[in-house]
Structure 1
Amino acid sequence: MGKIAKDQPDAGLKSLNHYSNRLPLWRYWPRQKLLPLIRYETPYLAWVQEKVRTPALDSYFAFTANLGTHTFFMVFLPFLFWCGHNSLGRGYDWTPHRENTRDTDKTNNLFFIRLVHILAAGVFFSGFIKDLLCLPRPLSPPLQRITMSGSAALEYGFPSTHSTNAVSVAVYAIALLNAPDSTVNPQTNLVLQVVTYLYVISIVLGRLYCGMHGMLDCVVGSTLGALIGYAQYSLGPAFDDYILSSSWVEILAIPIVILILVRIHPEPADDCPCFDDSVAFAGVTLGIDVGSWYFTQSSLAWSEPLPGTIPYRYESLGLVKTVIRLIVGVLCIFAWREVTKPTLLRILPPVFRSLEKLGLLLPRRFFKTASQYTTVPSNLKDHDVLPSFSEIPSIITTIRHPRRRAVSIGPQSEADAYETLAYREKRRRESQSGGSRDSPVGGETKPNGAPILSRKATTLDQYEHMMGTGSPNSAMVDIDANILRSSPLPPPQYEPSRSDEKDVFSQIKKPRVRYDVEVVTKLVVYAGIPWVVINVAPPVFEFIGLGVPY
């Protein structure tokens, strides 16, 4: 397994058949049908990006992109749980003596707890499709990628997870606000809806503006998000009923289903970290469902306004104790991860070696098996959903200096590099055969050879010539600096040498070596985070005097 990853930079001459060799026909065929659409729209996206870019918009869309990540939600969701908004969100009131009343927090409860399910489904299924079809992001150049995240470009592009997350949350929120039993007053309702629409438009359009995705990525991602949001709104109450009414035997169905989903997650053709996020959120789903079921049966849980509510009342605690309560809760989460992760990485390798000898392991591509290493490094740079202690200073710096962002030009991942080489080879073959390129601006012919469109060359042609010509380059640009405008480039040489291909791979950001034990470790750690939030932090609050009387 490790040898494949090591030899990939020398596989440049396999740019065209790389995916046909790595993917079965039922995955390769739809990929080849969708790939021309991504190539077709790229010059148009670059042309629009060139026309509308300003320093202010660069910073706005680069910064708001963070609001569409699952990391953003994972950082703030625990705060909502500890402030009493952790209910599983019934569509009705469980307490008989209050069956004719509505609590104003119910809409919040519906939104906040199910938000975890929405995000988990969005991250998992968008990552599932990404690794299934292995479609690249639109080529850079001609696009310039504007981002504050160093890992986003390492993933496949189709579909857009940002769009999936934003649209799923927005659809669910709008459905709640328009529900007949909504208790939000009309003025607040209108403001919340406007904010929701502004949020989702900023995220989706920002993916296009920043050159991170194409129209196809965003449309399919948005469609997936809309389906997830609607499914959660329609089926969420029934699923919550199942959780709270289950016996311990019935609740075991949840971890079984999650483990099956993790196991059938497709193997990618390149070293893409999509699987890491899918495993993390599979763990989060497991932890929040089983943890909620367990906490609802405890004596500490409140049954009002809905079952499983973590005890909290602002009038009893006040601002200072509430802030201390949140800090203590966050420390519990970090303590769990800082202790559990290195412990598992230390004790699991011998177990995995024994299982490997028995033939019980089904290793994933790009993950080094336990028989190929002795220890796992302690300073692994993770692609984590929730930031670690070491990442907090950089996060604070980003918040204090939102005007800074990275503008990257050229391939940034293995998928980018293979697509760049494949596009060069495609144009070389078309040039040698005397055929016309599938340029989106003129030069196209009908089957009988007659031109479909004849017009003068425009800047769009220049953007089309840039496709597949770039070398990796990245620079930090300040908002007040001049925007790096794309300049017309000469048509590329159609016969790239082997050294050119090696150069493309040698300059891209390579994912670090990943170890087989990390899959189980990530699943356990992230399943434990919601368990700590729901079942560990509340007793700690009570013990140190930050609890509230019923």
Structure 2
Amino acid sequence: MEKKKPNGRTDAGLRSLNHYQNSLPKWRYYPREKVLPVVRFETPYLAWLQHKMRTPMLDSFFAFTANLGTHTFFMTFLPVLFWSGYPSLGRGTVNVLAAGVFWSGFVKDLLCLPRPLSPPLQRITMSGSAALEYGFPSTHSTNAVSVAIYALWLLRSDTTLSPAVNIACQVALYIYALSIIVGRLYCGMHGFLDVVIGSGLGALIAWVQCAYGPALDNWIVSAPGKEVILMVLIVLVLIRIHPEPADDCPCFDDSVSFAAVFIGANVAAWDLSRSSITSAELTPDTIPYRLESLGWFKTVLRFIIGVLIIFVWREVMKPLLLRSLPPVFRGLEKAGLLLPRRFFTRASEYKTVPGHLKDEEVIPNFSDIPSILTSIRHPRRRAISVGPQSEADAYETLAYREKRRRESVTELFHGVPANPPGDATKRSVSKLEEYESQMGTVSHRLSPDAPVSAQTTSAAAGTLPEAGCPSTADEEDMFSMIKKPRVRYDVEVVTRLIVYMGIGLIVVDYMAYVFDFLGLAP
């Protein structure tokens, strides 16, 4: 029996190899077990592909371009669309991204499928938290495909661009989506099934947006207040029924953030369409903008002031809510009115929450900006690691090792030696067999910027331990290697909802009044 701490985590050394069978209901465990063999089957082929393609230049290229498939990248630049007179395009992009992040995270936490094993794969990334999530499906692929298809649909109906520019934009979108998808395979972060299903999910989301997005826009600007409130309640219910993961996975955090942005952006559009400050030239929810009237100086000034206000809102409200909400949650907890989520520490178990929690944010902190700029200036900076990085990785490594041990015992029981005499010495071991032999082993992580020549794992030299039944000390050693998620607090869910709903309101609605007050409106 596993010994669990109050926050839902399990003590190292007491983790069962039947962890997922014990943690998940049968209706979630059954499909997981059906898909898991595919993930394992893919791994040697992915390692072979990575080995054939690896170069320092491609390492840097795919590690850097992976940032272009994140929701952080999109949300950093989306305000420009709303402040440049393109609210429908901005809200459509928010819709596909919010749906992609939410539903890919929903499936990830539902099935709890691991990423392909490392070793034999080497993980190449510029994001420390990406490997903490489950692998199936790929959110990067979902985001890239949904945005690319949505943009292609708009381009093919656009008559304002010249044919040459229109075709160039379409080609760029194909290259963009393909580079993100191939990059997830190259970087060892996802398998073929992950990116195929992720891309399919992105295509489905884009189709829904293309087919029903205009109707949603028309409904938003004409709906009565009660219907808008109902829409908000439906999204909040979806957040609440988001599956509880078997491990401490941060997928839920991103789902909450983008669901909140979706709520804020649509409520803001509804409110702005009823004001007298909007532009009647396009849609009722358009913040007035004309380059001919404002000029480039005021246009750039609008963007600078708007972004600063977003950062100030986030920097002020987040620590304020993290200080003020815990007493409220303690009172609600005593009254039995809370439905706590697993892996979130309850307010009764802590006194204070740190004001600036270090994690992967949809909108980065002020303190993160220098490191982001450094990454842009020096794209060769990336982390290359070998070995388990998350609890899901560690569990899969142990489970695959146990699988190999049982297969070996079965072979011996039936009188079939693991290495038939004269067989292994007469033929050389293929690369696929070599990579398969590394699965379920453990290797220490390599430091960032390690050259490709230094990235050969000790398994290739035959020095890694044989697969077998892990001891308690072996389990403790493995779980000590992984990157442990930081402590998460129950008040963070409501904090994220308020902060990111506020960002949506500021971008789509309130900045219209700020621009008008500062003389930055046409």
Q: TM-score, normalised by structure 1?
A: 0.89
CA distance in 2, matches of 1:2, 1:540: 49
Contact 1:267 1:364 in 2 (8 A): yes
Matched, 1:239 2:242: no
Q: How many residues align?
A: 506
Partner of 2:504: 530
Shift of 1:40: 0.4
CA distance in 1, matches of 2:74, 2:191: 24
- 1:186 is matched by which residue type in structure 2? P
Contact 1:145 1:409 in 2 (8 A): yes
The CA deviation string for residues 248-288 of structure 1, in whole angstroms up to 9 with x for no partner, is 11111121011100010000000000000000001000000
CA distance in 1, matches of 2:387, 2:196: 24
Shift of 1:4: 5.2
Work out which of the residue numbers 455, 459, 462 in structure 2 matches 1:484: 455
The CA deviation string for residues 297-326 of structure 1, in whole angstroms up to 9 with x for no partner, is 111111212221111122222222222211
Work out which of the residue numbers 321, 338, 354 in structure 2 matches 1:361: 338
Work out which of the residue numbers 321, 324, 347 in structure 2 matches 1:347: 324
CA distance in 2, matches of 1:543, 1:435: 81
CA distance in 2, matches of 1:334, 1:318: 25
Partner of 1:126: 104
Work out which of the residue numbers 113, 118, 124 in structure 1 matches 2:91: 113
**Aligned with 1:124: secondary structure?**
helix
Contact 2:247 2:391 in 1 (8 A): yes
The 10-residue stretch of structure 1 (487-496 or 114-123) with the greater mean CA deviation from structure 2: 487-496
CA distance in 2, matches of 1:255, 1:121: 14
Partner of 2:129: 151
Matched, 1:471 2:443: yes
Matched, 1:513 2:491: no
Work out which of the residue numbers 123, 138, 141 in structure 2 matches 1:163: 141
Shift of 1:538: 2.2
Question: 1:469 and 1:276, CA in 2 relative to 1: closer, same or farther beyond 3 A?
Answer: same
Aligned-residue RMSD, C-alpha: 1.9
CA distance in 1, matches of 2:399, 2:38: 15
The CA deviation string for residues 498-528 of structure 1, in whole angstroms up to 9 with x for no partner, is 2111011112110111111100110110011
Shift of 1:234: 0.3
CA distance in 1, matches of 2:285, 2:8: 47
**Aligned with 1:434: secondary structure?**
helix
Q: Structure 2: any 5+ residue segments left out of the alignment?
A: 419-425
CA distance in 2, matches of 1:310, 1:135: 43
Shift of 1:160: 0.1
CA distance in 1, matches of 2:398, 2:480: 14
CA distance in 2, matches of 1:62, 1:538: 37
Contact 1:355 1:361 in 2 (8 A): yes
Contact 2:248 2:485 in 1 (8 A): yes
Work out which of the residue numbers 498, 503, 509 in structure 1 matches 2:477: 503
The 10-residue stretch of structure 1 (492-501 or 459-468) with the greater mean CA deviation from structure 2: 492-501
**Aligned with 2:10: secondary structure?**
helix
The 10-residue stretch of structure 1 (278-287 or 332-341) with the greater mean CA deviation from structure 2: 332-341
**Aligned with 1:304: secondary structure?**
coil
Shift of 1:433: 2.0
**Aligned with 2:447: secondary structure?**
strand
Contact 1:466 1:492 in 2 (8 A): no
Partner of 1:447: none
The CA deviation string for residues 125-147 of structure 1, in whole angstroms up to 9 with x for no partner, is 00000000000000000000100
**Aligned with 1:230: secondary structure?**
helix
Matched, 1:48 2:25: no
CA distance in 2, matches of 1:177, 1:365: 44
Contact 1:176 1:182 in 2 (8 A): no
Matched, 1:7 2:13: no
Question: 1:540 and 1:435, CA in 2 relative to 1: closer, same or farther beyond 3 A?
Answer: farther
The 10-residue stretch of structure 1 (330-339 or 195-204) with the greater mean CA deviation from structure 2: 330-339
Work out which of the residue numbers 189, 208, 228 in structure 1 matches 2:185: 208
Shift of 1:545: 2.2
After TM superposition, the structure 1 = structure 2 runs for residues 265-280 of structure 1, keeping only pairs within 5 Å, are: 265-280=242-257
Partner of 2:421: none
Partner of 2:422: none
The CA deviation string for residues 353-406 of structure 1, in whole angstroms up to 9 with x for no partner, is 111112111100000111111211223213211101111111011111111111
CA distance in 2, matches of 1:489, 1:34: 31
CA distance in 2, matches of 1:255, 1:217: 31
Partner of 2:65: 64
Question: 1:151 and 1:246, CA in 2 relative to 1: closer, same or farther beyond 3 A?
Answer: same
**Aligned with 1:403: secondary structure?**
coil
Work out which of the residue numbers 409, 412, 419 in structure 1 matches 2:389: 412
**Aligned with 1:146: secondary structure?**
strand
The 10-residue stretch of structure 1 (304-313 or 27-36) with the greater mean CA deviation from structure 2: 304-313
CA distance in 1, matches of 2:177, 2:353: 40
Contact 2:9 2:343 in 1 (8 A): no
Q: TM-score, normalised by structure 2?
A: 0.93
Shift of 1:2: 4.9
After TM superposition, the structure 1 = structure 2 runs for residues 252-291 of structure 1, keeping only pairs within 5 Å, are: 252-291=229-268
Contact 2:319 2:356 in 1 (8 A): no
Partner of 2:434: 462
CA distance in 1, matches of 2:443, 2:8: 21
Question: 1:6 and 1:22, CA in 2 relative to 1: closer, same or farther beyond 3 A?
Answer: closer
Contact 2:150 2:206 in 1 (8 A): yes
CA distance in 2, matches of 1:130, 1:50: 27
Work out which of the residue numbers 510, 519, 522 in structure 2 matches 1:545: 519
Contact 2:272 2:284 in 1 (8 A): no
- 1:498 is matched by which residue type in structure 2? T
Question: 1:112 and 1:401, CA in 2 relative to 1: closer, same or farther beyond 3 A?
Answer: same
